[in-house]
């Protein structure tokens, strides 16, 4: 792989690749993100390879394992070019048929198309599927198009051209563009990246660092993982542009050890970028040199907090410290450091390439551009979605997410990860942007979005998040460490029906102390799930403490499983499956649950075909 000595050579390389692989070339893109990999997409790639070879089509048809396409619910996904046809839930057995009928014959296989739940309507093209149609995919767009392990694929779609442009513009103009775009940090805080860059750029000295925060720790969030897995060069390019702007010579990607695939692809991308002269000394013949090291995180949620992350890179315990001084003033090894998250870095090349004016044309007045969310929970279309800032929660949950499965009722949506807030149905028309969410006691966070239906107990949910944060608090501040532990004990009491109304006040008071008197953002936001659920779902808390009732029928101490003798056919299935052997009864005679031994696991409810098991 030859080093590129100039932007001119980069352009020539791109032209050569595009000439070899024209856009209208026939290609099979198989999603090889972690989600589809779990569904067996790696085997699918091999099956396609073997089949294409067998049919003698391997030269003519390009087989391309790609990053995450976002529609994880329907994986493994296979996207067929040039038509943009999407097959979903594809199995290795389907491969010969796809090659025979669709690739060779141009025929559509109906059974593999996406079918809309409810309407039964089938969609042939990816772009027409409501899940994709309502999105605005800037950062994620390339994920389905390129092989993340091929720098040529990235260059073919215009990769590293923004870097070339940045070298032509010079650091001041690039900074002006990032500031003008009002790019706000996608990692949680929403702090303007340009302001941070400017502060770091202004610091004296030639030893500065750039960090990419890929320590995505929110339960159910996989935005950053999917970007690194699907388009690692976008992150690298963003970092080189940032380093050039601020005058840094060395960078770090702090990435979770639990992301093996992302790590593998990132390392491959770094190697290829070095070989191509896009990292290292004299990048693209500009005279500017910069390289990136990879630092693997040990799985502590708190290390996503920038000052804790910096300490962790230094080899110390990941504990946040008070700011100021900000990392831009005194960061890694005491030197000026700029830290942004994966999505922010991946957005930078787009802004430099297309300009601040283009970027500010998307989004709301104060929140520009798009934001990626991992849409999970009780929603039909779970997956990764990218939306323009300002879209309503309703559009995300219903238009993109396809609503709530099983005919159940929407109850709440939690945004912003474990320390985000829960918003009820009455807030569904809120605009999703940084400031609106914070004003409502929720937050953008890094982009976790969990949808809950009527079967979710909000007290139990609050307890779950408090439990998570209690375990993940670094343990420095009394208020966060002990306050969360205390709140958790009290919430356990509420869930056990042992609470009183005074207990609710006490929980709120402790939550307030945790919020205002802890050092870092983990502590100051940790009370959000409790405060927001008490605010919007107070009736559920009251039902637990005043009536000893769990309206969602979740809290085990407050529910009883019984068998309706009229409906029970005496099939013995529940009795056989009961792990505690606490269901008695003879064949063809109504069964009975011995309450003393019942652990309320719900297995009987799940296995009964006659709707004879009730929970009260």
Partner 1 sequence: MPVQVKINGIKMSAEPQETVLQVARRSGVHIPTLCHLESVESTGACRVCLVEMKLGGKTQLTTSCNAGVEDGMEIMTDTPEVQKHRAANLEMMLGRAPGSQKIRALAREYGVYESAYVPSEDPAIPGCILCELCVRVCEALGHSALAAVSRGGKKYIGTPHDKPSESCVGCGACAEKCPTRCIEMTDTKKTRTIWGQTFDFVSCETCGAPVMTVRQRTHAVETKELPEDYYTTCVACKQKNLAGRFARVGS
Which residues contact partner 1 by CB under 8 A? 300, 302, 317, 319, 321-322, 324-325, 470-479, 481-486, 488-489, 506, 509-510, 513, 516-519
Cα–Cα distance for residue pair 212/476, rounded to 1 Å? 25
Cα–Cα distance for residue pair 279/289, rounded to 1 Å? 7
CB of 452 to partner 1, least distance (A): 25
Helix (H) / strand (E) containing 424 = strand 421-424
Please name the residues in contact with 509: beta carbons below 8 A apart, sequence gap of 6 or more.
none
* Residue placing its CB nearer to partner 1 in the complex, 275 or 506: 506
Cis before 82 (ω within 30) = yes
- Helices and strands (H and E) in the chain: how many: 25, 19
* Residue placing its CB nearer to partner 1 in the complex, 324 or 407: 324
* Residue placing its CB nearer to partner 1 in the complex, 449 or 484: 484
CB of 216 to partner 1, least distance (A): 18
CB of 496 to partner 1, least distance (A): 14
* Residue placing its CB nearer to partner 1 in the complex, 122 or 317: 317
The answer to whether 227 and 157 have CB atoms below 8 angstroms apart is: no
Query: Token pair of 515, please?
Result: 């919020």
Cα–Cα distance for residue pair 65/50, rounded to 1 Å? 14
* Residue placing its CB nearer to partner 1 in the complex, 311 or 536: 311
* Residue placing its CB nearer to partner 1 in the complex, 322 or 609: 322
Q: Which residue matches tokens 């009961």?
A: 578
* Residue placing its CB nearer to partner 1 in the complex, 267 or 493: 493
CB of 470 to partner 1, least distance (A): 5
* Residue placing its CB nearer to partner 1 in the complex, 166 or 484: 484
CB of 416 to partner 1, least distance (A): 20
Q: Give 296's strand partners.
A: 255
Provide the pairing of β-strand 27-31 with 62-66: parallel
CB of 531 to partner 1, least distance (A): 15
Please name the residues in contact with 507: beta carbons below 8 A apart, sequence gap of 6 or more.
487, 490, 491, 494, 530, 534
* Residue placing its CB nearer to partner 1 in the complex, 137 or 196: 196
CB of 583 to partner 1, least distance (A): 34
* Residue placing its CB nearer to partner 1 in the complex, 12 or 489: 489
Residue 165, SS3 per DSSP: helix
Query: Token pair of 277, please?
Result: 């002269």
CB of 480 to partner 1, least distance (A): 9
CB atoms within 10 A of CB 493: 17
Cα–Cα distance for residue pair 569/474, rounded to 1 Å? 54
CB of 318 to partner 1, least distance (A): 8
Residue 452, SS3 per DSSP: strand
Is the dihedral angle over the CA atoms 424, 430, 431, 433 positive or is it negative? negative
Provide the pairing of β-strand 78-81 with 122-123: unpaired
- Three-state SS across 236-289? HHHHHHHHHHHCCCEEEEEEECCCHHHHHHHHHHHHHHHHCCCCECCHHHCCCC
Query: How much of the chain is in helix, strand and coil states, percent to nearest 5?
Result: 45, 15, 40
CB of 521 to partner 1, least distance (A): 13
CB of 473 to partner 1, least distance (A): 5
Q: Which residue matches tokens 């296979």?
A: 78
Query: Token pair of 172, please?
Result: 């001041």
HSE at residue 471, side-chain half, CA atoms within 13 A, is 12
CB of 7 to partner 1, least distance (A): 43
CB of 558 to partner 1, least distance (A): 21
C-alpha dist (Å) from residue 557 to 455, 492, 498: 16, 10, 10
The answer to whether 163 and 285 have CB atoms below 8 angstroms apart is: no
* Residue placing its CB nearer to partner 1 in the complex, 108 or 503: 503
CB of 478 to partner 1, least distance (A): 5
* Residue placing its CB nearer to partner 1 in the complex, 264 or 508: 508
Residue 609, SS3 per DSSP: coil
Residue 384, SS3 per DSSP: strand
- The residue among 217, 203, 192 whose CA lies nearest residue 347 is 192
* Residue placing its CB nearer to partner 1 in the complex, 75 or 483: 483
The answer to whether 51 and 103 have CB atoms below 8 angstroms apart is: no
CB of 548 to partner 1, least distance (A): 22
Query: Reading across the β-sheet that carries 448-453, which strands appear in turn?
Result: 383-388, 370-377, 448-453, 410-415, 421-424
């Amino acid at each position: 792989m030859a080093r590129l000595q100039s932007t001119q050579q980069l352009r020539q390389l791109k032209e050569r690749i595009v000439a070899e692989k024209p856009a209208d070339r026939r290609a099979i893109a198989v999603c090889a993100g972690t989600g589809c990999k779990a569904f067996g997409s790696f085997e699918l790639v091999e099956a396609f390879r073997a089949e294409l070879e067998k049919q003698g089509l391997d030269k003519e048809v390009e087989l391309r394992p790609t990053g995450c396409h976002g529609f994880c619910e329907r994986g493994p996904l296979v996207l067929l070019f040039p038509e943009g046809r999407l097959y979903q839930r594809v199995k290795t057995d389907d491969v010969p048929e796809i090659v025979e009928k669709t690739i060779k014959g141009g025929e559509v296989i109906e059974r593999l198309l996406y079918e809309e739940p409810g309407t039964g309507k089938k969609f042939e093209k990816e772009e027409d599927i409501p899940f994709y149609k309502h999105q605005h995919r800037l950062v994620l767009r390339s994920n389905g198009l390129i092989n993340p392990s091929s720098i040529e694929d990235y260059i073919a779609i215009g990769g590293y051209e923004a870097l070339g442009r940045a070298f032509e513009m010079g650091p001041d103009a690039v900074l002006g563009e990032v500031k003008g775009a009002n790019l706000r940090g996608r990692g949680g805080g929403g702090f303007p990246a340009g302001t941070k860059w400017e502060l770091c750029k202004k610091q004296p000295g030639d030893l500065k660092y750039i960090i990419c925060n890929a320590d995505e720790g929110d339960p159910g969030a996989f935005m950053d993982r999917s970007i690194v897995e699907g388009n690692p060069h976008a992150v690298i390019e963003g970092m080189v542009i940032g380093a050039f702007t601020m005058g840094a010579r060395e960078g770090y990607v702090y990435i979770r050890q639990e992301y093996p695939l992302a790590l593998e692809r990132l390392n491959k991308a770094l190697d290829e970028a070095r070989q191509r002269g896009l990292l290292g000394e004299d990048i693209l013949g500009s005279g500017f040199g910069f390289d990136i090291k990879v630092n693997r995180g040990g799985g502590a949620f708190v290390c996503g907090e920038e000052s804790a992350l910096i300490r962790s890179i230094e080899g110390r315990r990941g504990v946040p410290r008070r700011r100021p001084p900000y990392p831009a003033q005194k960061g890694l090894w005491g030197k000026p450091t700029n830290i942004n998250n994966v999505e922010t870095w991946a957005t930078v090349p787009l802004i430099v390439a297309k300009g601040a004016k283009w970027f500010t044309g998307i989004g709301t007045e104060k929140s520009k551009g798009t934001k990626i969310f991992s849409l999970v929970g009780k929603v039909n279309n779970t997956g990764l979605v990218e939306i323009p800032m300002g879209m309503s929660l309703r559009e995300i949950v219903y238009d993109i997410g396809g609503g709530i499965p099983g005919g159940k009722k929407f109850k709440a949506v939690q945004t912003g990860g474990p320390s985000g807030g829960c918003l009820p149905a009455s807030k569904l028309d809120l605009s999703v942007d940084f400031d609106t969410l914070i004003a409502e006691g929720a937050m953008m966070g890094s982009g976790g979005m969990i949808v809950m239906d009527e079967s979710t107990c909000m007290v139990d949910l609050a307890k779950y998040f408090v439990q998570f944060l209690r375990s993940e608090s670094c343990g420095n501040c009394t208020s966060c460490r002990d306050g969360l532990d205390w709140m958790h004990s009290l919430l356990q009491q509420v869930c056990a029906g042992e609470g009183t109304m005074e207990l609710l006040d006490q929980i709120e008071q402790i939550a307030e102390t945790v919020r205002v008197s802890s050092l870092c953002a983990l502590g100051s936001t940790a009370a959000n799930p409790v405060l927001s659920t008490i605010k919007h779902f107070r009736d559920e808390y009251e039902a637990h403490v005043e009536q000893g009732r769990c309206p969602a029928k979740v809290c085990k101490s407050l529910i009883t499983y019984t068998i309706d003798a009229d409906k029970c056919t005496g099939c013995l299935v529940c009795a056989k499956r009961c792990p505690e052997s606490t269901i008695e009864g003879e064949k063809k005679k109504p069964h009975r649950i011995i309450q003393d031994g019942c652990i309320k696991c719900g297995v009987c409810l799940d296995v009964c075909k006659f709707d004879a098991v009730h929970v009260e």
